[in-house]
Each structure stands twice: as C-alpha cells, then as structure tokens.
Amino acid sequence: MEAKSERVPVQSLIGKMVVSKTGKKFGEVGDIVFETRSGEIIYLVLKNPTPYADTFQLERDEEGNYQIPFNAVMAIGDFVVVAEEDIV
C-alpha cells in the first residue's frame, strides 16, 4: 500500500473501493472534490454506496451522493482505506 503522503494520480482513485481499516466496504470512488487554487483534495464522492455507508451521517453533495472527507484517508493502494473515526 502506498502512504497517503506519496503522490498518486487523481484519476487512479476513480473506481477504487473505499474500505474501513477493518475491511468494511463503503462504496467506490465516483468523483473527487478539490480546492481549485491549491489542488488539495477535500472529499471523495462515493458511487454505489453500500448499506454500511448508510449507517454513517456522511455529508452529501448537491446530487445527494455521499462524500468522505479526504483527511479520513489512511492509505491508497488496491483500495482506499479510511479511518471510520475520522469520517464523522
């Protein structure tokens, strides 16, 4: 797994499964919200959210899609691993 601080092409995140540290699935990365001036990623937008994602009070975008704060991302590899405690 790559450390979050290493550079990862943004397009490579699209379609990756988002999972918790314990392996529970949230859904796939469908889009990315970032600060246009700095390029800093703010949210990962979920597509195909799982019932597990429904159990969290996740923020939603204008279309009602769940957003996971990027500061909750712990690692990026075959999956995007997030810390559940940093989501809420």
The mean-pLDDT minimum among 6-10, 16-20, 34-38, 59-63 falls in 6-10
List CB contacts of 68: < 8 A, sequence separation 6 or more.
Answer: 18, 26, 43, 44, 46, 58, 82, 87
Residues forming a β-bridge with 17: 28, 79
What pTM does this model have? 0.86
Q: Could you give phi then psi for residue 59, rounded to 5 degrees?
A: -65, 155
Span 64-76, pLDDT tens digits: 999 999 999 999 9
- Domain map of the chain by residue range? 2-86
CATH fold of 2-86 reads SH3 type barrels. (2.30.30)
